[in-house]
Amino acid sequence: MSLPGHTKCRTEYIRPKTALLRKIRGSRSRALPDRALVNCQYSSATFSTGERKRRPHGDRKSCEMGLQLRQTFEAAILTQLHPRSQIDIYVQPLRGVVSLQVLQADGGTYAACVNAATLAVLDAGIPMRDFVCACSAGFVDGTALADLSHVEEAAGGPQLALALLPASGQIALLEMDARLHEDHLEWVLEAAAQAARDVHTLLDRVVRQHVHEASILLGD
């Protein structure tokens, strides 16, 4: 799926070999007796950023992103229903650079990953509390901006990433690593929340259409 801008994400899920939900192999000591373990891996394709990256796995940004995704989805997935199992979510953003002068508007990696992963988990039939819709927001020149592009991110202002459970309005993850005056926080948060709700409308419509079609074909 692609968000406004050109960040595209591909999420891997159900396939007989790389099962999304499967029994824990290997280190069984990690298995939780009453819940499922959620494991998220973020790996960027070598052509995804401005310079070609040789090591797409294991670097700090990937690990951190994986951890954030894991926290987000642990809050959303009903893990009590699948004890001693592991849920793997592999996300790989695909982002091409068109030319060297004009960088594509392609910020908001975390948001794209979360939205794509929500669809993947839904498609796998894993019970979730609600959709998880995410969006980034920032504050530039006294205005709160939602869904920052790469240029806006690079400008150096504060950036906030928000993952929302739209039906209940609960926040799954809120992350910011810059300094922002607390008076502005409310505006930025509201902008991000509104954008996340817009994403939710879109995802909701697509999923309903898909379920509608599936029910016609199978449900008779």
Binders of another protein among residues 21 to 50 (CB under 8 A) are 21-23
171 binds another protein, rule: CB under 8 A: no
Stretch that binds another protein, among 67-75, 79-87, 107-115, 134-142 (CB under 8 A): 79-87
217 binds another protein, rule: CB under 8 A: yes
59 binds another protein, rule: CB under 8 A: no
Q: How near is the Cβ of 211 to another protein at its closest, in Å?
A: 5
Binders of another protein among residues 84 to 123 (CB under 8 A) are 84-85, 122-123
DSSP one-letter string for the chain: -B-SSS-EEEEE---SSS-SEEE--S-GGG--SSSPEEEEEE---TTSSSSPPS--SSSHHHHHHHHHHHHHHHHHB-GGGSTTEEEEEEEEEE-----SSS------HHHHHHHHHHHHHHHTT--BSS--EEEEEEEETTEEEES--HHHHHTT--EEEEEEETTTTEEEEEEE-S---HHHHHHHHHHHHHHHHHHHHHHHHHHHHHHHHHHHHH--
Q: Which of 74, 153, 175, 204 binds another protein (CB under 8 A)?
A: 204
Contact set with another protein (CB under 8 A): 14, 16-17, 19, 21-23, 78, 83-85, 122-131, 165-168, 204, 207-220
